[in-house]
Structure 1
Amino acid sequence: MNRCFGCLFVLLMLLAKPDRSYAAADSLVLKAGAATSNITPKIGSSINGSMQDIKIENIHDETHARALVLDDGRTQLAFVVLDLCMVSREVLDQAKQRAHELTGIPTSHMMMSATHTHSAGTACGVFQSDPDPAYLAFLADRAADALIRAYRNRVPAQIAWGVGEERNEVFNRRWHMKPGTPLPNPFGGQDQVKMNPGVGNPDLLKPAGPVDPDVPVVALQTLTGDPIALLANYSLHYVGGTGRGEVSADYYGMFADRIGQLLGAERSAQRPPFVGIMTNGTSGDINNIEWAAKERETFSPYTKMQSVADNLAKASFEAIKNVSYQPWVPLAAEQEEITLGVRKPDVTEIKRAEEIVAKAEGPHMKSLEEIYARETLFIKDYPAEVNILLQVFRIGDLAIAAIPAEVFVEIGLELKAKSPFKPTFTIELANGYNGYLPTPAQHKLGGYETWRARSSYLEEDASTKILHTLFRLLANHKNKSN
């Protein structure tokens, strides 16, 4: 009888034994923390985003580094999103190292990106805007500070995610034109497509690519329901429409404020305060102008970006309004550095560029031909290959890819469609800046985004190699989660 009782006891214990992953989760606590740091540049310094350098005359709204740290009890992930047009890997590597020293989070578990506002301080030498070394040092410290503060603000949390939609704010800006339409490029050739062809242009034929209307959202709140942070993603280049020489975070900053209002964060006595974050998706060929319209709408400064921010905040709010929050999910990170070729000018192209620059009135280049001749002389001194960082973060069944470029929307759509994680989205301009990333097919069409410069220099097969690596990293995550 004792033997039977013992066998029954063992059987009951085996049947009652939970799965190991759930047992681990039961003993762990999810934590989250968020914070911001002000990165507003000084008046009189350079604004990124134009082919001619513009100096800051006033500050319309402050620019920030917005940070979020997640901690599942075993693994920590950190996001820092900076209100900048782009930012170099060197600056971000400095920020990551400093943050690592004060938090212990591996630098491979830090994803730092730029929003791509065209009305912020210059953090990369692109076209005729050059960064102030003092501002770069300031940025590295402030990006690190935002992450460190978010780490120290961690509290027990619960998490939810969803995918909203906003179709009315994204349009492909590359267009096929009617046969016979001249499409000259600054290198003396002809393209097959035109960027920003003009609203109501009678020569418009069809867009050269798709759009992505998705608004993926990750939301964190305390165990009592107070909002901690919300990180969203949208594949829209930027909006613009500022006063001349004015600094603004564009719709990304306005979104951060508006989503807090919708979530009731302003009414909360919670400290530290809620942080809203909008990241840029794959928007290298996407903007906010409906080129097929009969005439272009006009707006007073800042009104259009506020409208976009409001619409995206509503879409984000709807995406998570009825979802269930989870008290714990596993976190993971994969990072890989790959080598890509650089499209270098040949001897003939260098000679032509030298002649054009020599004839320019200067010191500032004025025509597209002059500007790209100057860029050619920069690229001739680039190495034949560059190394770039690729990342994939896993948050439960959600995956986030990171690419250090202005990524064409087709690439992001392919990642979403073929990823083993649903949902999956991409944060572009992350962990450095390596110019535009068109597909090989889009390279063959030409157009602004393919014109060789510091803003577009990676080999034509770069997107193929990047996708191959990211799919492998996603598969690694999936294999480890099974």
Structure 2
Amino acid sequence: MKHGLFPLFQAAWSARCVGFVLAAVAGLAPIALLAQEGGGPPLRVGAASVDLVGDDSMVIAGGITAGKAQGQEGRLRCVATVIERAGTRVAIAACDVLMMTRATLDPVEEEIERTVGIPRSHILVNCTHTHHAPSTMRIHDYGPDAAFTAQVQRAIVTAVRSAANQLVDCRFFFALGEERTVGQNSRVLLDDGQIFWIGPRTNFVRATGPFDPELPVLAFKDGADAWRSILFNHSTHTIGAKSPGKRSASIYGLATQELEAELGGVVTFLEGASGSTHNLELTGEECVRRVGRSVKETLAKVQPRRLDQIAAAKRLVNYRVRYFDEEAEAAAVERYCRKYAPGGAEVIARVFRSMRSELASQQGDSRSTWVQAIRLGDIAIVGVPAEYFTQLGIDIKNRSPFRHTYIAELANDWIGYLPNLEAHKLGGYQVWTGFHSYAEAGTGEKIADVAVSLLQQLAKP
């Protein structure tokens, strides 16, 4: 969910955090394709994209209160890559929306399994987390746009089906790059003991968590030496449009579109564990330039890599809605907002009070969500169903049996923010109880444990 922005603050934020266009890769030297090793079955890959159509009447997801956009920049899309070897296929899809719950995505994955033949365990649907697209879920004081949500559901199925129908022999390339300057831990400790959300932060004391700069690039070339599919991953909140106030795929989505114009093929961005990280310093255009440069530099360094094993696993995990103290929750929201966002304090307090009122009767309820792991040779992708705190993502990476393990948050479901236990103690917007944050403390660690268990399962010979 957005870094607390609602229409009162949207324009100011958009002016700083917009754009994310990738630089040209015209000078990239050709890379020789890796010959098929051992005479085994070929690696086949297909990729496709489907445009989404929004209009100015639709509520934009990403703020505390309902807002609307006027016009659009670039395209909103669902993209998909299908990878097959020895009869095993996986589908990796990404959608230019804020997030979607399993109530929306389960039927989509069931239809893909039924009509395309890819098992649900082998389908990962990631939301890019753009804060500038029509709403596809209920959050704060607004709900989904029903027509747009149905359109997204159809687009995912269409993109995966189209990708599966376009499989061609490919070779796999990989490199791990980094981008350290676009994003930072945004849960800054202030000198009054509160955690930064919006407003001034001149009383900065220190960051309260890590930033993950890793930027992996997974790329596939066909027999004509043309890029078929390029996927990259980075872990900063997807906020900002080149043109404030317009619908937009935001910084990463705009980047994928510019990359495609330069390189061909289909480019996919997978949002990493960014629940605690945002860009707080750079303009949108500068974000675009720097991330583009990093992706270009990483792509220039890719090396052929064996992809002789494809596997996936997905598991349902139970968790509970947290118990909360209404008086303490109200005091935390009001204390912060009256000091740091006085112009919107009453509105914010009202929205949070309304959410807590509805959640009060659900305290202690048991719910379930998906955790997923995909193995592509010696590389693993973990799908987690939340705005996952970066520390938790790093913990999974450190415990994984795969050296190259990457997190795709907001995958297959959305259950709000999942902070680590220490972050729960510190408080702040991401911990305040609401539709954006309601799972009991420890759920993030539980998700990590399940993810590591799945990775260990996939690592077995």
Q: Is the counterpart of residue 194 in structure 1 residue 196 in structure 2?
A: yes
Larger Rg: 1
For the 8 Å contact 1:405–1:433, the answer to whether it is kept is yes
Aligned to 1:15: none
Aligned to 1:234: 234
Q: Which amino acid aligns with 2:239?
A: V
Which aligned pairs between 1:329-368 and structure 2 lie closer than 5 A? 329-345=308-324, 366-368=346-348
Structure-2 separation of matches of 1:347 and 1:170:
33
Aligned to 2:151: 138
Structure-1 separation of matches of 2:165 and 2:175:
27
Aligned to 2:438: 457
Instruction: Report the Cα offset of residue 72 of structure 1.
Output: 0.8
Structure-1 separation of matches of 2:397 and 2:144:
35
Aligned to 1:277: 268
For the 8 Å contact 1:365–1:371, the answer to whether it is kept is no
Cα deviation digits, residues 91-143 of structure 1 (max 9, x gap): 11121122222210001110001111100010011012211222222221111
Structure-1 separation of matches of 2:237 and 2:329:
31
Please give the secondary structure, in 1, of the residue aligned with 2:351: helix
Q: Is the counterpart of residue 469 in structure 1 residue 460 in structure 2?
A: no
Aligned to 1:311: 290
Q: How big is the alpha-carbon RMSD for the aligned residues of Structure 1 and Structure 2?
A: 2.4
Aligned to 1:64: 77
Structure-1 separation of matches of 2:325 and 2:197:
26
Please give the secondary structure, in 1, of the residue aligned with 2:133: coil
Partner of residue 120 from structure 2, selected from 107, 111, 118: 107
Aligned CA distance change for structure 1 residues 391 and 459 (closer, same or farther; 3 Å): same
Aligned CA distance change for structure 1 residues 63 and 365 (closer, same or farther; 3 Å): farther
Structure-1 separation of matches of 2:438 and 2:232:
29
Aligned length: 414
Aligned CA distance change for structure 1 residues 419 and 54 (closer, same or farther; 3 Å): same
Structure-2 separation of matches of 1:47 and 1:323:
37
Instruction: Report the Cα offset of residue 278 of structure 1.
Output: 1.1
Which aligned pairs between 1:354-393 and structure 2 lie closer than 5 A? 366-382=346-362, 384-393=365-374
For the 8 Å contact 1:258–1:310, the answer to whether it is kept is no
Q: Which amino acid aligns with 1:409?
A: T
Instruction: Report the Cα offset of residue 381 of structure 1.
Output: 4.3
Cα deviation digits, residues 238-295 of structure 1 (max 9, x gap): 2315555410001122211233355x32xxxxxxxx11111110110101114xxxxx
Instruction: Report the Cα offset of residue 394 of structure 1.
Output: 0.3
Instruction: Report the Cα offset of residue 332 of structure 1.
Output: 0.3
Which aligned pairs between 1:145-294 and structure 2 lie closer than 5 A? 145-178=158-191, 181=192, 192-196=194-198, 198=200, 201=202, 203-241=203-241, 243=243, 245-262=245-262, 264-265=263-264, 274-290=265-281
Instruction: Report the Cα offset of residue 311 of structure 1.
Output: 2.5
Please give the secondary structure, in 2, of the residue aligned with 1:195: coil
Instruction: Report the Cα offset of residue 347 of structure 1.
Output: 7.8
Cα deviation digits, residues 60-96 of structure 1 (max 9, x gap): 2220001110001221110110001111212111211
Q: Give structure 2 stretches of 5+ with no counterpart.
A: 1-35, 332-343
> TM-score w.r.t. structure 2 length?
0.84
Please give the secondary structure, in 1, of the residue aligned with 2:304: coil
Structure-1 separation of matches of 2:227 and 2:330:
59
Aligned CA distance change for structure 1 residues 381 and 47 (closer, same or farther; 3 Å): farther
Structure-1 separation of matches of 2:297 and 2:347:
46
For the 8 Å contact 2:128–2:253, the answer to whether it is kept is no
Aligned CA distance change for structure 1 residues 241 and 323 (closer, same or farther; 3 Å): closer
Aligned to 2:12: none
Structure-2 separation of matches of 1:447 and 1:466:
21
Structure-1 separation of matches of 2:158 and 2:417:
29
Q: Give structure 1 stretches of 5+ with no counterpart.
A: 1-22, 184-191, 266-273, 291-296, 353-363
Please give the secondary structure, in 2, of the residue aligned with 1:283: coil
Cα deviation digits, residues 215-260 of structure 1 (max 9, x gap): 0111011023100111100000023155554100011222112333
Structure-2 separation of matches of 1:322 and 1:393:
24
Structure-2 separation of matches of 1:238 and 1:198:
21
**Which structure exhibits the higher relative contact order, with contacts defined as CA atoms closer than 8 Å and separated by 6 or more residues?**
2
Please give the secondary structure, in 2, of the residue aligned with 1:124: coil
For the 8 Å contact 1:215–1:312, the answer to whether it is kept is no
Please give the secondary structure, in 2, of the residue aligned with 1:26: coil
Instruction: Report the Cα offset of residue 175 of structure 1.
Output: 1.3
Q: Is the counterpart of residue 395 in structure 1 residue 395 in structure 2?
A: no
Instruction: Report the Cα offset of residue 344 of structure 1.
Output: 3.6
Aligned to 2:427: 446
For the 8 Å contact 1:157–1:327, the answer to whether it is kept is no
Instruction: Report the Cα offset of residue 377 of structure 1.
Output: 1.9
Q: Is the counterpart of residue 323 in structure 1 residue 302 in structure 2?
A: yes
Aligned to 2:28: none
Which aligned pairs between 1:82-121 and structure 2 lie closer than 5 A? 82-121=95-134
